[in-house]
Amino acid sequence: MRLDDFIDIEANERAERRRLAKEKSYEILDHVESVADRVERTVSGDSVVGSVSPSIFVGRSNYPEVSTGILSPVGNEGDAGRFVTSGAWYDEDVDLTEVFRRRTSLLNSRRSASVDVADTWEGFVGVGREVAIADRPVDVEIGLDADPTVDFDADGASPPTGPSAPARSASLGENPHVPRAVEKTLEDDDWRAEGAINYLYRRGFDVYEVNTILSAGALGRAENRRLVPTRWSITAVDDTVGGFLRGSLRDAPSVDGVEIHRNEFLGNAYWVILAPGQWEYELVELKAPGSVWNPDPEAGMWLAADREGYEGRTGYVEETAGAYHAARLAALEHLDERGRTAKCLVLRHVSDDYWGPAGVWQVREGVRHAFEGEHATAETLADAVRGVVDYLPASLADLRRKSAMVAGLQTTLDRF
């Protein structure tokens, strides 16, 4: 299929969307305050009674003393599972406002704790760990030390959070159901975290579940088990599973031809180009002026890129951070399903419709679903890049200066 037949670009209405985005951001702040007010009205004495927790949140400030929180959708206990970030949100076709509403509807009941948890399963930290390893939301009772405050936070990697309150205690209202595979990782005191992560993934656990279990300090050798800040655990699991899949494809045959896949989600457009050859990967991000990471409308397009070759990379991902590992995982999952390897170039266009950072889960899902349905083809990787550039707010010269993979095609591209 020709690229111009494959793609259908909507008319540009960015000025109006930017105005609406500003209005939406204020709506979210109003929503967070309304949640805090609802929590205050729900508090019985100094406790939240009969709450249901679907997840936890571990902060990273003051490490190794961190804020560990039990999240609960107070007033929405019967529907607690809908508030857990997962790939199901993509299937529901949630918009960015709904993502923020769900996440900021969760009260973060928090206490400071040491990351060294080892075999701690009592008290507030223990209850949080039980919530994290359970396969469904858990009934809890949380004693609060003060009224909730508006504590809106969105760091771009982990999903946004809403109101928070200091907690004095927590207790379980039921015995959580823990999957047998998770019990197995806990019982083996000598199992390294990397092996346990890949074991759970191969047993059908998605990375969303695994990163919560890792964050609770429930994976790894017993003496090394620590709480892992949520932001770090998300990237760690994407990186670990991605490395496992890359290794499993080391001797796989290559894709036969050049493929161009595309998807849009939450104001982000994803182009994934697969080409014959050994594994090579690069993520290039184009962040529009007025978007969440390039807020100045007069700043011009901002480009960032990171890459790896056949052996992967050992250094820190400097420019694209958690998005790099999330997009790489999605591409490797697709190739693993096909039993093929490929050169892989992912181009992410962040438009000004992306008015608030939802977390890198949307990158993962955006690329995962790019492989659905039909795709375009090209004769060469150079042809594919040249064709896609026509639909990007950057020139071929801009990409060549930023992208190592595109720069490597310079001789071929100069023919055009």
Q: What is the DSSP letter of 291?
A: B
225 with 265, same domain: the answer is no
Contacts 24+ apart (CB under 8 A), 400-408: 402/284, 402/303, 402/304, 402/305, 403/282, 403/284, 403/305, 403/307, 403/345, 404/282, 404/305, 404/307, 405/280, 405/282, 405/307, 405/343, 405/345, 405/381, 406/284, 406/345
Q: In what order do the strands lie in the sheet with 376-378?
A: 302-308, 280-287, 343-350, 268-275, 258-265, 376-378
Is the pLDDT higher at 368 or at 37?
368
264 with 369, same domain: the answer is yes
61 with 155, same domain: the answer is yes
Q: Is residue 17 one of the residues assigned to a domain?
A: no
Q: Is residue 11 one of the residues assigned to a domain?
A: no
Domain residues for the domain of 363 are: 258-410
- Under 8 Å between Cβ of 227 and 133: no
Q: How much is the pLDDT for 21?
A: 45
230 with 364, same domain: the answer is no
Q: How much is the pLDDT for 15?
A: 46
The pTM score is 0.89
Residues 236-272 pLDDT 10s: 999 999 999 999 999 999 999 999 999 999 999 999 9
41 with 135, same domain: the answer is yes
Q: How much is the pLDDT for 368?
A: 98
Cβ neighbours of residue 221 under 8 Å, at least 6 residues apart?
Answer: 189, 190, 191, 192, 193
Q: How much is the pLDDT for 50?
A: 56
What residues are paired with 143 via a beta bridge?
A: 47, 169
Q: What is the mean predicted confidence (pLDDT) over 177-200?
A: 96
Give CA angle at 241 (239, 244), nearest 5°: 110
382 with 274, same domain: the answer is yes
Average pLDDT, the chain: 87
Q: Is residue 278 one of the residues assigned to a domain?
A: yes
54 upstream amide cis, omega within 30 of 0: no
Q: Is residue 102 one of the residues assigned to a domain?
A: yes
Q: How much is the pLDDT for 140?
A: 93
Single-letter code of the amino acid located at 124: F
Instruction: Determine the distance from the C-alpha atom of residue 345 to the mean position of all C-alpha atoms in its chain, rounded to a whole number.
Output: 19
Q: Is residue 6 one of the residues assigned to a domain?
A: no
The domain boundary, picked from 172, 190, 205, lies at 172
264 with 377, same domain: the answer is yes
Q: What is the mean predicted confidence (pLDDT) over 142-146?
A: 87
92 with 138, same domain: the answer is yes
How many other C-beta atoms are found inside a 10 Å radius of the C-beta of residue 382?
A: 21
41 with 140, same domain: the answer is yes
pLDDT at residue 2 tops 70: no
Nearest to 271 by CA among 331, 215, 338: 331
* Main-chain phi, psi angles of 206, to 5 degrees: -75, 165
pLDDT at residue 9 tops 60: no
Residues 80-96 pLDDT 10s: 889 889 999 999 999 98
Q: What is the mean predicted confidence (pLDDT) over 277-296?
A: 86
Residues 200-220 pLDDT 10s: 999 999 999 999 999 999 999
Q: Is residue 363 one of the residues assigned to a domain?
A: yes
Please give the full DSSP string across 55-84, using - where no structure is assigned: EEEE--TTTTEEEEEEEE-TT-GGGGGGGS
203 with 334, same domain: the answer is no
Q: What is the mean predicted confidence (pLDDT) over 323-344?
A: 98
Q: Is residue 242 one of the residues assigned to a domain?
A: yes
The domain boundary, picked from 138, 155, 172, lies at 172
pLDDT at residue 12 tops 50: no
274 with 242, same domain: the answer is no
Q: How would residue 79 be classed by pLDDT, with cut points 50, 70 and 90? A: confident
Q: Is residue 16 one of the residues assigned to a domain?
A: no
pLDDT at residue 18 tops 80: no
Q: How much is the pLDDT for 6?
A: 53
Residues in the chain: 416
**How far is 3 from 390, CA to CA, in rounded Å?**
10
Task: Write the CA distances from 261 to 2, 14, 162, 266, 370, integer angstroms.
Answer: 12, 24, 35, 17, 6
228 with 352, same domain: the answer is no
Number of structural domains the chain divides into: 3
Q: How much is the pLDDT for 14?
A: 41
Q: How many CA atoms lie within 13 A of 138 on its CB side?
A: 25
Single-letter code of the amino acid located at 404: A
**How far is 266 from 261, CA to CA, in rounded Å?**
17
Q: How would residue 377 be classed by pLDDT, with cut points 50, 70 and 90? A: very high
The domain boundary, picked from 197, 214, 249, lies at 249
Task: Write the CA distances from 399 to 305, 347, 394, 395, 409, integer angstroms.
Answer: 10, 10, 7, 6, 11
Nearest to 306 by CA among 327, 328, 284: 284
Q: Which of 17-21, 35-39, 75-79, 347-351 has the highest mean pLDDT?
A: 347-351
Q: How much is the pLDDT for 196?
A: 97
